[in-house]
Structures are given as C-alpha cells and as structure tokens.
Amino acid sequence: MSARVAIIGAGPAGLMAGIAAAEAGADAIVTEQLDRPAAKLLATGGGRCNFTNMLRPEEFMARFGRQGRFMQPALAGLDPRGLRDFLTGLGLASYVAEGGGVYPVGDRAGDVRDALLGRCRELGVEIRCGVCAEALLFDESLPPGLRGVRTSTKERSAQRPSLVENQEISASAVVIACGGQSYPDLGGTGGGYDLAAQAGHTILQPVAALVALRVREEWLCQCAGVSLQSRVWIDLPGRSRRGQTGDVLITHRGLSGPAVLDLSSEVSELLGRGGRESVPLRLEVCAGVGKAQWKERLEGWRRHEGRRRLEILLAQHLPARLAELFCRQAGCLGTLASQAPADKAQALAEMLSALSLEVSGTEGFASAMVTRGGVSLRQVDPRTLQSRLLRGLFFAGEVLDLDGPCGGYNLQWAFSSGRLAGLSAAHTRDSRPVAL
C-alpha cells in the first residue's frame, strides 16, 4: 500500500488533514485503530458538538496558556469563522450559543462527522478502520529518513478482534493525529506518543485534563447532585485567586461542572508532574458573595428574623440540602438566628465564602475530556507542524502538548492543526531528515 500522505488517526484532526492534503492534490490514506472513524467527535458537547468558539484569535490563543502562540499559523489558516464557513460549504450550518460556543444546527455531532466523511469520499481520501499504526518505517540513509508506517489490522468480523495482519504503508509524509490519552474507549490510547518517540521526540508526561476532581472532605459528597454558581481557586502561593467562576457540581467523590473542569488541568498538573499528594482548593459557594456580605446577612437575620432557624434562612440562597449540611458542619443546625453563638456564625460565614477543600486526585483518563502534555512543541515547527527532527513527519491535534478549556477550543485546534499539517504534508516530496 502506498500514498503520498499517510495520516494516523481518523479523529477531527486526521480527517481534516486528509481533506486538506487531498485538496492540495496529494493522495491521502487515513488509518484508524477503532472500527469506526471519529468516535470521540460523536461524544463531544454531550453529543451536540461544540466545535469552536467565536473569540478573536488573540483571546482564543490566550485560553491555551503560555504555549498558545504556537497555534498562530494554524489559526491564521483556519480560524473559527473559516471553520464555520468550511462546514457551511459542506451543507452544515451552525449557530452561536450564549458564551460564544458554536454548534451545528440540529445539535448533532453525527452531522459534523458525516460532513467530514462526505468530503473525504468526494476527494477520494481512503479511510481504513481497524488498522492500527504500530511503528514508523525508516530508510537506510544516514541519518535515517521516513519512508512510511507499519500497521496491524484487526479482523473486523470476529466477535473478539485479534491481530491478523501486519502491513506497510509507504508514504512521503506521515501525519500523527492520534489524539491524547483520555477516554481510551474512544481511541485515547496514547499510541501517538510511542510513534513520536520512535522519531526521537520528547513527550511531556500526559496528565488527565478537563476532569472531575476527588476531594478529601467526604461530608460534602452527601450533597452529590447539587450544583451551584460558585467561584473556585487553587489556594497556593503564586496562583490566581480569581480562579474560575461558573457552575460547580458536587459529585459522589468531589467536584465537577464547567468551572471545576477548567481549573482541573492545572490541579492535575500539580498532582502529576508537580508530584504533590494533594492540592488545596477554595470555594466561594455563591460566586461574588464574600465573607463580609455573609456576616452582614447573618447579622440581619439575627436582628430581624431571629425566630427562624439558620438553615431555613440560608436556603434562600443555597439549595436546602446544602444549607442544612453547611449548618451541621458549622455546628449550628437547628439554631435560631437570634441564638447563633458568634463563633458558629463566624465559622459559617468563613465556610460559605472560602470553603477549604483538599483535592486528593482526579477521576483520571477514563473520564477526562482532554490530555495535558504530549509531544513537546519545541521540536515541531509551528509554521508547518513538521517535526524538527525528521523531515516528512507532521503532527496535528491533541497529540501535541496543547490543551484548552471547555467551550469548543480543543476541536478548533484539532481542525486548524489538521488542515495545516495536511497541506504541509501534501507539499513534502523529499523525506530526508532535516539537518539539525
């Protein structure tokens, strides 16, 4: 088997790379280890696929942190507006939701997948499912150049698939678009890191990102299922107290919800690469309501509503179950507002304004939306997404060490980088290694 461009992984980055390479006149083949393409794409946005966000490029890149500028050339080639236009051109209109997130009209991730697969068909991009890339193939030159990929094919008819065949795909260019390590069931096996490492690439330790957190305070989990508009921040020197504001969901083992997910990548990094056993968090239970305001409220209740119980009064501002739980923790459950001892009222105000929690871990890759870490950006040229170590090798999507928050950022990166890598790969004819 041979093709000018071999692409590994049929996620959004790989499919877009195939489309871009074919549009540039190259024959392209995409191999996918699962028995269907774009499995993860179907799960995005709760099945609705929040595929981009209408922020301006500068703000967009800032959401990816210090390394965000790496995206500039890829975003310049395909920005959020360009992606929407591209999909509209394939017959898929989209709309902008509150907060700038963009979804396909119809709210079906399957429509985005079908549009991409339809375009692949039109252009003759071959997609081979059940084919796992195992190794890069090098030629005999010194230092070795890239000549293709070795794959293993799974027998698709069998109930329990077994490896049946090894094959070689010779190609002038190879795009690694294998995604990260999250949701292994949807293809997040981390296989792209092994392939990149074969070419000498440095892999930054992958950690689960956009993931629910476990906390040591088991008492809080009695309120699993309760969600609030809160502010949450990492309580460590040098970390911003601004943290994240938004929906926070109490779970059976800790916290989740958009505000927590957006903070989770930093927490996960401190636990993983930072080697910390736990990470202290603070929760302003009702976003924007600080200690002084709670004290004022408690004082007002003492004066004017003294015959009512504190948990009943607190339930005007919090879900009743949580109000009860906080009063119990502060030692004033069932206490009349006029009779609350000063130290208990103080404890309650402190808890509500900056609840102290200790994160002991995350829910891990099994339920993380993305991976932080991966192929180091230092060894990849942002203008082409070509390896600086091996000519003819390209990267696209989440396999690279870039991750954004919730809101359509990660898919836009997958599409933009896929397009740039596919175009660059289509123009590679000579795969001799780059002199360093």
Ligand X SMILES: Cc1cc2nc3c(=O)[nH]c(=O)nc-3n(C[C@H](O)[C@H](O)[C@H](O)COP(=O)(O)OP(=O)(O)OC[C@H]3O[C@@H](n4cnc5c(N)ncnc54)[C@H](O)[C@@H]3O)c2cc1C
Residues engaged in binding ligand X (CB under 6 A): 8-14, 31-34, 39-41, 43-45, 50, 132-133, 177-179, 182-183, 187-189, 191-192, 369-370, 397-398, 408-411, 414
C-alpha span between 162 and 298 (Å, rounded): 66
Cβ closest to ligand X, residue 59 vs residue 299 = 59
Q: Closest distance between ligand X and the C-beta of residue 35, in Å?
A: 10
What's the full length of the chain, in residues? Answer: 436
Q: Closest distance between ligand X and the C-beta of residue 418, in Å?
A: 7
Q: Which residue is nearest to ligand X (CB)?
A: 11
Q: Closest distance between ligand X and the C-beta of residue 117, in Å?
A: 13
Cβ closest to ligand X, residue 284 vs residue 398 = 398
Q: Closest distance between ligand X and the C-beta of residue 361, in Å?
A: 19
Cβ closest to ligand X, residue 182 vs residue 230 = 182
C-alpha span between 407 and 293 (Å, rounded): 32
Burial (0-12, 13-18, 19+ Cβ within 10 Å), 122: exposed
| Angle, in degrees to the nearest 10, between helices 80-89 and 409-426 | 70
Q: Closest distance between ligand X and the C-beta of residue 43, in Å?
A: 4
C-alpha span between 416 and 56 (Å, rounded): 15
C-alpha span between 296 and 242 (Å, rounded): 23
E strand spans, 302-369: 355-362
Cβ closest to ligand X, residue 230 vs residue 410 = 410
E strand spans, 21-117: 28-32, 52-53, 94-96, 101-104
Cβ closest to ligand X, residue 206 vs residue 355 = 206
Cβ closest to ligand X, residue 113 vs residue 302 = 113
Other CB atoms closer than 10 Å to residue 259's CB: what's the count?
A: 25
Q: Closest distance between ligand X and the C-beta of residue 241, in Å?
A: 27
- Find where tokens 């392209």 sit: 28
Q: Closest distance between ligand X and the C-beta of residue 364, in Å?
A: 13
Q: Closest distance between ligand X and the C-beta of residue 406, in Å?
A: 7
What is each CA distance from 84 to 103, 118, 418, in whole angstroms? 9, 16, 15
3-state secondary structure of 331: coil
Cβ closest to ligand X, residue 361 vs residue 422 = 422
Cβ closest to ligand X, residue 410 vs residue 431 = 410
> Are 199 and 387 spatial neighbours (Cβ–Cβ below 8 Å)?
yes
